[in-house]
Amino acid sequence: MSVAARNLMRSGQMPLFAADQVRELDRRAIEQDIDGFALMRRASGTAWRWLKARWPGARSLTVFCGSGNNGGDGHVLAALAAQEGRRVQRYSLVPRERLSGDALKAARMADEAGVEWLDWRSDASIDGDVIVDAMLGTGFQGELRAPYVVAIEAINGTGCPVLAIDIPSGVNADGAAAGDIAIKADVTVTFITDKLGLYTGGGAAHSGEVVVEPLGLDAMAHEDITPIAWRLTPECLAEMLPPRPRDIHKGALGFAGIIGGAPGYGGAALLAAEACARIGAGRVMLATAPEHVTASLVRCPEVMARGLIHATQLPPLLASLSVLAIGPGLGQSSWGQAMLQCALERSLPMVVDADALNLLASRFTSMQDTTAHDTTLQRDDWILTPHPGEAARLLDCSVAEVEADRPGAARQLQQRFGGVVVLKGAGTLICGPRGLALCPYGNPGMASGGTGDVLTGFIAGLVAQGLELEQAAQCAVLVHALAGDRAAGQAGERGLLASDLASCARNLINPTMGEDDAAATR
């Protein structure tokens, strides 16, 4: 394992791999005298143990098997369940004559255990207490064929709990979108390495609880096989947010500026400014339309609110800033356009969100239509935070195309615009000079107005405190998602408001807070 990889793992980031990398690791293991069928039995035994632990009362199973090793895993699991006295219904999506190698050995093992082979038919019944999906595995790409579509629809329609072996059928291991049809698993037991596609976009919605079982193999021992992304964990926070020195002062914690809140659109900017203060920035200034200043003072008097009629009033306010965030409630009228132009003329770390992104997209499209070159459209010192719709506008493509390959879209945005890109959504992705990171936390309750504005404030506040851009983006996304999960845990997902996140975030970034140990907080 490289030194860089070890450092990332020590800081709480876990490696994610691509399907072809997993196949190569599997090949190397067999090449090193690890019997392929023995490895299959190890995998199936592990999945069977997880199934029993998760559903101890299950007395019957329905196992769906495809071809190849994933199907083989299903056949072996069926055999193990039968040997322990469970009633097992085994369906195959492929004719027996198409099986070969270890998959054929596995099918014979199930035969010998007394498990009947059943060819899947669209009118077949599904009788198990728990369903096991061993149809497609990590090799799936492209479109599902008819037998699999019918089987997946039937499985999802039962309402029964589902355990997916390695990856839910219909989900792409590399992060391309799950199609309209994919297994909705309650638990996914994945083998050898963790896979990017389990956590982002449609994969996040279909994988349920993910359990990673390396089966005794160490992917990080192979220095020529580099993870395609890194999964953030709560342990990252200790590395990113060490305790503050006791003699710290506000001047050492940065001065963040928020520009937004065009006339009639004040709420988003107020949320961003308060979030920036709550994440720990030393000072926060809000530049907004004059009509919103009173509301800002009432809501959060710690924020220095400045009412601006014209962009010509902005430059003096930017002179002392450590970081600038622009976009929440900015609008796309002349007021917002002038504010963005003034901000782009400054050499200052910047967080760009919401309508500022839409204005950038318009500029980029205009530049593409001419021979002009706008140097303000690529910078190393900014963080762009698009949701899929904004990403589509920045890339001049459809939202469906962004969601079809979220990792690819994040990388393309970073290559085109520079700096760091945060592609929001289920399994938010952070792409910077060091590569791709993924946050697997968050919940549907966060799909409400203003949560993105809070994230913008968090990012700006962390940059103000001295975190470099990529680390600040990762830390903010992680805190934001975990705060959402904590808020949902307290009162449920429905009705969760963006303003609920700040207090939960404050607890997360001060995990040891208490009367006796305040000196150890962050």
268 known member of a binding site: yes
DSSP conformation class of 94: S
Q: What Rg, from alpha-carbon coordinates, does the chain have?
A: 26
70 known member of a binding site: yes
474 known member of a binding site: no
Please give the structure tokens belonging to residue 493.
């997902």
CA dihedral (197, 198, 199, 200) positive or negative: positive
62 known member of a binding site: no
507 known member of a binding site: no
143 known member of a binding site: yes
73 known member of a binding site: yes
Which of 94, 15, 80, 17 is closest to 44 using CA atoms? Answer: 80
C-alpha span between 354 and 87 (Å, rounded): 55
CA dihedral (234, 239, 241, 243) positive or negative: positive
453 known member of a binding site: yes
Which amino acid type is present at position 412? Q
Beta bridge partner(s), residue 383 = 351, 420
142 known member of a binding site: yes
426 known member of a binding site: yes
329 known member of a binding site: yes
428 known member of a binding site: yes
Which amino acid type is present at position 236? C
C-alpha span between 426 and 207 (Å, rounded): 12
C-alpha span between 85 and 91 (Å, rounded): 19
Beta bridge partner(s), residue 439 = 428
Q: Please say whether the beta carbons of 163 and 74 come within 8 A.
A: no
Q: Please say whether the beta carbons of 201 and 425 come within 8 A.
A: yes
128 known member of a binding site: no
Q: Please say whether the beta carbons of 457 and 281 come within 8 A.
A: no
265 known member of a binding site: no
C-alpha span between 196 and 176 (Å, rounded): 9
425 known member of a binding site: yes
180 known member of a binding site: no
Distances (CA, A) of 217 to 38, 138, 165, 213, 224: 13, 17, 17, 9, 15
68 known member of a binding site: no
71 known member of a binding site: yes
166 known member of a binding site: yes
Which of 313, 269, 316, 274 is closest to 288 using CA atoms? Answer: 269
Q: Please say whether the beta carbons of 441 and 485 come within 8 A.
A: yes
Distances (CA, A) of 431 to 11, 326, 414, 424, 428: 18, 20, 6, 11, 10
57 known member of a binding site: no
Binding-site positions for (6S)-NADPHX read 69-73, 137-143, 148, 166, 268, 329, 387, 453
Binding-site positions read 69-73, 133, 137-143, 148, 166, 169, 268, 329, 387, 424-428, 452-453
Binding-site positions for K(+) read 70, 133, 169
Binding-site positions for AMP read 424-428, 452
